[in-house]
Structure 1
C-alpha cells in the first residue's frame, strides 16, 4: 500500500493512473483528427467543415430569400381567401414560423460556440498557449454570456455585450425575414378616356358621324331596361334606400355618375352596339387572386334637374296640345297624342322629340314626354293621365346637362380561378365632385341624355302600365306609404332624381359606345388622342406575403456577423502552429466541467493560485500566466500554467 507524504499534498498527487479518467458517453472532440484520403480538400477538421458548411447553408438560405424578394419586389401568397379569415390562422402560422426561426438561430449560435471552443482548444496546443484571463474570458464568448469579472478591461465587457446582443437578435432577424405580413401597397395609376367636353366632338355630331352612339344607343332592349333601372336606383338612393345598378357586369352603388368604368380586361360590346367589338382594357394591375381597391378621379356626366307642376295650353310657352283618338273597337286601346311648338336643335332630330303618342286602355293610364330647347338648357314636359299616373299631371322640368369630375372607388374581391370575377370590381362607388362644365345645348352628351330619356318613356309605356310611372310610385310609397299622392314636393323630388340617374346612365352609354373598337365607322380603332382626357388615381393592393422594406436588409446583419466571426475563428485555428499532433490532444472541451477538472488536475494548474500567504494569487499576478495543453507522462493531457514566455519543457514556473 502506498504511504501518504508528510507534506501537504497537491491535488495532482492523488492521480497516479497512467491513463486519464474515463468519461462514459463523452464523444465530442473539439479538435479532432484531420480528414484523410481527401487531398483535394483544404486541411480542415471535420468540426471545422461542419462549422463552415453550416454557416454557408444558413447564409445561402437567408440571402437567397432576400435576393428573391429584391428581384421581384413583391411575393404574394396565392391564397386570396386568407385575408378574409386572418384570425383563424395567422397566430398558428406565427408560432410555426417563430419555431423555425428560433431553430435556425439556435443552430447558428451552436456553430459559433463550437468555433470558439475549437479555437480555444487549438490555441492551448500552440507554443505560447493562452493568457489565463484570455482563456477564461473566451469561454464567456463560447457560452455567449456577459463577462462580469471585477477589475476587467472595459473592452472585454463591451465585446461580450455586443456578442450577447447579436446572438439575441438572430431569432428576431430570421422571424422578420420568414413571417408573411399583410401589406397595403399604394401605386399611382393614370390613363386616358374620352373627353365629352372637347369641342371636336361637336364637329363629328353635326356631320352625322356620332348618330349611332348619340341618338340610337338606347334602341336595344337590354340598354332600354337599364335606362329605367338607372332612374329607379337613383330615386331610391336619394331616399336613403339601398340600391345598386348593374351594367355589363359592373355593379354601381346607386348611380353610374356618367363614368365609363376602368377595367383590367377587355369588355365585349358586340351585343350592345352595332359594329362594336370590345372596349379595350384601360388599366393594368396585379394578377388575379390579390384583393385590391382603386380610387380614380374620372370625367363624369350628370344633369341639374328642376321640376314643377305647370298648366300648359295651346297658348302658353311652351305650348301643349293633347289629342285623344278613341278606338273603333271597344277592346282596342286609346291613342293619346301630345305635341308642342317649342324649338328643337337640329341635332336632336328636329321636331321628332317635340311630339309623341301612347296607346293605353282607358282605365289604366299613360305617361308621355316631349323635349324642347330653352336657351342653355332643355325643357322636358311630362303628361300623366289615367287612373294610375294622374299624380304627375303636367310636369315641366328644366334639364341642364353638365360635364363633371367624379371620384370613383372600385372595390375588388379576390378570385383564384375566374378571370371574369377576379378582374371586375364587386362594387363601384361614385361621388360627384363640386363644380363642373355645362354642356351647351346641342352638345353630344346633352343630346344623348335627352334622346335617352325620350326613348325610355316611349319604351316604358304599355297598354296597361308605364314602367317609369310605376317605379316613381314605388319610390314614393317607400317614403310616405299610402299618402304619397298628397306629397306634391315629394313627387317632384322623385322625378328630379329619377331623371338625373337616367342622364348619368346615358353618359356611361355614350362613353362606352364611343370607346368601343368597331368593325367600321367613326373611332373604329379607338378614340383619337386629341379628344381624350386624363384619369388619375391610386391602386391599393392588399396581400399576404413578403415585400422589400427598409427592415429587410439589416435583419440579415446579426446572422452574417456571427457567421463571419465563426469563419474567422476556424481560419485562425487552421493556421495555428500546433505543438502537439492532433492525436495527442485527446478529447478536450473547454466548456465541459469534467474535461476542465481532469486536465487541470493532470497538469497541476491549481498551483497557479498558490501564494506565500495562502490567499491565492491576485488577478494582477495571474494576468501574466499562460495556460496550455501538454501531454503529462503518466497522467495524460493536462492544463499547465507558465509565467510570461516560458517554453515547453521548462517545467511549472509559477511565482
Structure 2
C-alpha cells in the first residue's frame, strides 16, 4: 500500500481539531497571516522584521562610514603618545577590528540564511507548493554549501559557489572598511624667502643699512657659540662621522647649508636680536600628533674653500708681520699681534680685519686670522703658534662665497604637547645641489661670512686654549681614535670643511636677521616681494586613519548583494502569504534535519527519490519520462505537519507536474 496520501483534493475538515506541532527551543517563525479585509497590506513576522532591520542597520553603518571617508578623502587620528611604538599596539588593534568585522559578516550571513529558510517555508505553504529540485537547492543556499551536480548541467553548482564566495568576502570587506591604516599623503607646496642675489642688498650694505645683520651678528654672544659648533660638525660630517648641529631648537644634520627653515605660518624673528641669546624661531610646527616630512628646494649659501701652507713675511704678497709683546709680569699672558697689507673691501674696513691680536700664555699657543680680498675671492690667513697649534703653521685659504640651491628635508615627529619646541622639526637634512652663483667680493653674504669667521677666531681664543684649534685636533684624531693625524693633507682638508660649515652657518644667521622686522627699519613691513625667491617642494604627511579610493569601492558590494538578496526573499515571503491556506500553520524549519525527515516520512516522499543508478534525483519517473514534482507543506490530523507531493488535481493552473 502506497504510504503517500492521495493526490485528490483534500477534505475541508482534514485538519479540524488539530494543533500545530511545536518542539521546545524551535524559534523559526511561520509565514504571517493577514487579517480579513486587509489582504493588500504587507505583513511581516518579528523574524522578518529582524532580517529587514538587521540588514538595514548593517548597510546604513557601512555606507555612512564609507560616504564619510569618501567625502573627506582622509580621516586622520592624532596619536601622539604612542605613534612611534607601532608594533606594540597595531597587531592587537587589527585583531579587535577583524573580530568585529567577522561578527558583522556572520550576522549578515545569518540573516541571509534565515531569509532563505523563511522563503522556503512560505513557498511550501502555498497552493502550488514548491518544486522539489528548487526546495533541495534552496536548502543548500540556506546552509551555504555547494549544490552537487547530479548528472545535470552545473549552473546551480556554479551559482552556489558564487554565493559562498560572496559570503566569504564579507569579512574582508568589513575589515578593509573598519581597519585604520598608516598612510602617507604627498602635497605640492610653494613658499617665498629672501633672495640673497638681489642687487638691492648691495646698495643697503654700502650705505650702512645692513651693518646690524652683516657685521654685528657675528659678535653676539648667543650666536658665537654656534659658529665653532657649525665648523666642527661640518668637519666631522666630511669624515662620514654622524654629527648634528643644534641651533636654538633646530637640529641640522651636519650643516645648515645656509638656509633658513621655512614655516607654515608667519612668525616674527625679532626675539633673537633683542638680547642676542638665541637665533630666531623662524618655523612653526605643522600640527600635533601627525608626523610629516617636508622636502623643499631652497636658496642656500656656502663657500668653496681651498687651503695650502704658505710661508709669509713682511716682504711677500700678501705680507704678514707677527710681533710678540712680553708682559712685564711673568704670570701675565703674552700679546701676539699680526698685520698684513692685503686689500680689504669697503664693508669690512681697510684695516679692521687685516690685523688682530691674542693674549696667550707662552706655552699654550694661539690661533690668529686676518682676511683680505683678492679678485673674485677672499684670502683668509691663519697663524698657529705655541705648543698646541703649531701644526697649522701659516695656512692661506682661498674663500669663494656662492649662493646655492639646497634640497632641505624636514622631518617632523608628533608631540604630546602644543609647546613650540615640540612642534619644531625633529631633524633637518640639507643637501647642497650642484652649481651655484658666486657672490661677488663685497656682497652682503660673502662679507657676512668673512666677518663671522674672523669674529669666531677671536671669540675662540683664550689664555690657555683656542676652541677652533682644539676642535680641529679633535677632527684630526681620526674616527678610530688612533691619535693625532697631523699630516699636511689631513690638516688642510679639515680646515676647508670647518670653514665651509662656518660660512653656511653665517648664511643662516644673515637670512634670519634680514627676515627680522628690526633691521634698522629697512624691512619693517616685511621683505618686499621683488626681493624674494621661490621655494618649492613636497609635503609628505604620515597619518593613521582611513582613506579610500575608487579602487576600493568594491569592498561593500558583497555585503550589499547579500542584503539585497535577503530583502527580496523576505518580500517574496510576504507576498506568498497572500496565497496561504488557512489550515497551514505550525513551525517548520526546512534546514532542520529532524523537521525534514519527520515531515517527509509523514507525507510519503520516500518514493520520490529515484536512486537506481546510484545518483539520488529530485525527479520522479512516470511512464519512462522524468517529471519534476512539486511538494507542499500542510497539516494533517493525526500526522501533524507533512511534506507531500502535489497531485494534478491540486494545481490551480492545470499545468500538471510540468508547470511552473
Q: TM-score interval w.r.t. the shorter chain? A: 0.7 to 0.9
Q: 2:282–2:512: 8 Å Cα contact kept in structure 1?
A: no
Q: 1:128–1:645: 8 Å Cα contact kept in structure 2?
A: no
- Which deviates further from its counterpart, 271-280 or 394-403? 271-280
Distance 1:142 1:617, change over 3 A: closer
What is the Cα deviation at residue 55 of structure 1? 0.4
Q: 1:407–1:431: 8 Å Cα contact kept in structure 2?
A: yes
Q: 2:410–2:429: 8 Å Cα contact kept in structure 1?
A: yes
- Aligned partner of residue 494 in structure 2, secondary structure: helix
- Give the TM-score taking structure 2 as reference length: 0.87
Q: 2:145–2:164: 8 Å Cα contact kept in structure 1?
A: yes
- Which deviates further from its counterpart, 318-327 or 590-599? 318-327
- Which deviates further from its counterpart, 257-266 or 388-397? 257-266
- Which deviates further from its counterpart, 274-283 or 596-605? 274-283
Distance 1:557 1:616, change over 3 A: closer
| Residue of structure 2 equivalent to 1:493 | 493
Q: 1:629–1:640: 8 Å Cα contact kept in structure 2?
A: yes
| Residue of structure 2 equivalent to 1:653 | 658
- Which deviates further from its counterpart, 17-26 or 590-599? 17-26
| Residue of structure 2 equivalent to 1:621 | 625
Q: 2:248–2:278: 8 Å Cα contact kept in structure 1?
A: no
1:141-193 residue CA offsets vs partner (Å, 9 max, x unmatched) = 21222221324454433322221111111111111212222323333333222
- Which deviates further from its counterpart, 320-329 or 395-404? 320-329
What is the Cα deviation at residue 492 of structure 1? 1.8
Q: 1:354–1:370: 8 Å Cα contact kept in structure 2?
A: yes
- Which deviates further from its counterpart, 472-481 or 400-409? 472-481
Q: 2:4–2:644: 8 Å Cα contact kept in structure 1?
A: no
Q: 1:34–1:44: 8 Å Cα contact kept in structure 2?
A: no
- Which deviates further from its counterpart, 366-375 or 487-496? 487-496
Alpha-carbon distance in 1 for matches of 2:557, 2:519: 61
- Which deviates further from its counterpart, 45-54 or 570-579? 570-579
Matched length? 653
What is the Cα deviation at residue 128 of structure 1? 2.3
| Residue of structure 2 equivalent to 1:28 | 28
What is the Cα deviation at residue 266 of structure 1? 6.0
Distance 1:575 1:321, change over 3 A: same
Q: 1:33–1:583: 8 Å Cα contact kept in structure 2?
A: no
| Residue of structure 1 equivalent to 2:643 | 640
- Aligned partner of residue 11 in structure 1, secondary structure: coil
Alpha-carbon distance in 1 for matches of 2:25, 2:494: 93
Q: 2:324–2:335: 8 Å Cα contact kept in structure 1?
A: yes
Q: 1:78–1:289: 8 Å Cα contact kept in structure 2?
A: yes
Q: Does 1:160 align with 2:160?
A: yes
Distance 1:189 1:361, change over 3 A: same
Q: 1:335–1:359: 8 Å Cα contact kept in structure 2?
A: yes
| Residue of structure 1 equivalent to 2:197 | 197
What is the Cα deviation at residue 537 of structure 1? 2.5
Distance 1:311 1:615, change over 3 A: closer
| Residue of structure 1 equivalent to 2:331 | 331
Alpha-carbon distance in 1 for matches of 2:631, 2:482: 106
Alpha-carbon distance in 2 for matches of 1:180, 1:3: 63
1:191-242 residue CA offsets vs partner (Å, 9 max, x unmatched) = 2222222333223323322221111111210101111111122222223333
Distance 1:291 1:621, change over 3 A: farther
- Which deviates further from its counterpart, 233-242 or 443-452? 233-242
Alpha-carbon distance in 2 for matches of 1:142, 1:646: 31
What is the Cα deviation at residue 487 of structure 1? 1.7
Q: 2:29–2:45: 8 Å Cα contact kept in structure 1?
A: no
What is the Cα deviation at residue 65 of structure 1? 1.8
- Which deviates further from its counterpart, 564-573 or 533-542? 533-542
Q: 2:127–2:581: 8 Å Cα contact kept in structure 1?
A: no
Alpha-carbon distance in 2 for matches of 1:554, 1:247: 51
Q: 2:258–2:504: 8 Å Cα contact kept in structure 1?
A: yes
1:448-500 residue CA offsets vs partner (Å, 9 max, x unmatched) = 10111111112222233322222222322346979747522222222111111
- Which deviates further from its counterpart, 61-70 or 220-229? 61-70
1:279-338 residue CA offsets vs partner (Å, 9 max, x unmatched) = 999888863122332322222211111111222222221122333444445444433332
- Which deviates further from its counterpart, 603-612 or 158-167? 603-612
Alpha-carbon distance in 1 for matches of 2:134, 2:371: 102
Distance 1:113 1:12, change over 3 A: farther
Distance 1:301 1:603, change over 3 A: same
What is the Cα deviation at residue 26 of structure 1? 2.3
Distance 1:276 1:556, change over 3 A: farther
What is the Cα deviation at residue 118 of structure 1? 0.8
What is the Cα deviation at residue 418 of structure 1? 4.2
Distance 1:449 1:61, change over 3 A: same
Alpha-carbon distance in 2 for matches of 1:536, 1:7: 88
Q: Which runs of 5+ in 2 are unaligned?
A: 619-623
What is the Cα deviation at residue 591 of structure 1? 1.1
What is the Cα deviation at residue 387 of structure 1? 3.2
- Aligned partner of residue 21 in structure 1, secondary structure: coil
Q: 1:80–1:289: 8 Å Cα contact kept in structure 2?
A: yes
Q: 2:222–2:276: 8 Å Cα contact kept in structure 1?
A: no
RMSD of Structure 2 on Structure 1 (CA): 4.6
- Aligned partner of residue 546 in structure 2, secondary structure: strand
1:605-625 residue CA offsets vs partner (Å, 9 max, x unmatched) = 44645899999987x966542
Alpha-carbon distance in 1 for matches of 2:280, 2:16: 96
What is the Cα deviation at residue 249 of structure 1? 0.8
